[in-house]
A = this chain, B = another copy of it.
Amino acid sequence: MRLHGYFRSSAAWRVRIALNLKGIGVEHVPHHLRRGEQRAPDYVALNPQGLVPTLQFADGTALTQSLAILEWLDETHPEPPLLPGDPLRRARVRAFALAVACDTHPVQNLKVLARLRGLGLEEAAVVEWAAWVNREGLGACEAMAAAEPGPFCFGAAPGLADLCLVPQLGNARRFGVDVARYPRLLAAEAAALALPAFADAVPARQPDAEP
C-alpha cells in the first residue's frame, strides 16, 4: 500500500500512527502542500478533495479522509484496536476524535488560512484565528477526557482519540497556543509519545521533512 501524505499534515500524521501501531508497512508518497502538489490532476483523480492523506492499494483503489481510513484499518486489521468494543465507549472516543477532525483541524488548515490571507487579513490575525480554533477544540477535548481513566485519552491503551490529539497539539504549538491549559491532554500526549508508533510518526522523522 501507498500512503499519500505530507510530513506536516496532521490528517496524514494520524494515519501514520495507526499504521505503526498495527505494524503495517507502506510506501510513503509525499505531496508538498505548500507548493500545491495536491492539486495536480493525477492526484485529484485519486482524491477529489485534493487533500492528504490517501491510502492507495496495489490495484489502484484509493481511500480518502483520515477517519474513514482509520475505521477501515481497524475493521480489516483489528489488532491492536483503535476503538473499544462497547458501543457507548466507541461513541465517546469517536466524539473526541471528531471534535478534533471536524471542528478543529479543518477550520485552521492550510487552505482556510490561505483564504483568510487572500481576504486581506494580516499575518498576526491569521495566526490568532488558528490559535482560537485550537483553543476552542482542545478546551472541549480537555473536558471530554477529564473524567476518563489514563494514561491515554480513554484508558490504558492508545486509540483513535490519541491519534487525533497528538497531531493537533502539534498544530496548537505552531500557532502559539498555551497548551499548559490542557494538563489531561498533555499527560495523554506524553504517554503516547513514549511509544515508538507515535514517536516515529512525528513530522520531523518523515522522509519529506523540512527544518
Cα of A99 to Cα of B25 in the assembled complex, Å: 26
Given contacts A103-B106, A107-B107, A143-B48, contact A68 B94 (CB under 8 A): yes
Interface string of A123-154 (1 = CB under 8 A from B): 00100010010001001100110000000000
Most chain B CB atoms below 10 A, which of A49, A102, A139: A102
Q: Nearest residue in B to A112 (C-beta to C-beta)?
A: B107
B119–A125 touching, CB < 8 Å: yes
Q: Which of B48, B92, B98 contacts A144 (CB 8 A)?
A: B48
Given contacts A65-B102, A94-B65, contact A49 B115 (CB under 8 A): no
Contact residues of A between 79 and 109, Cβ < 8 Å to B: 87-88, 90-92, 94-95, 98-99, 101-103, 105-107
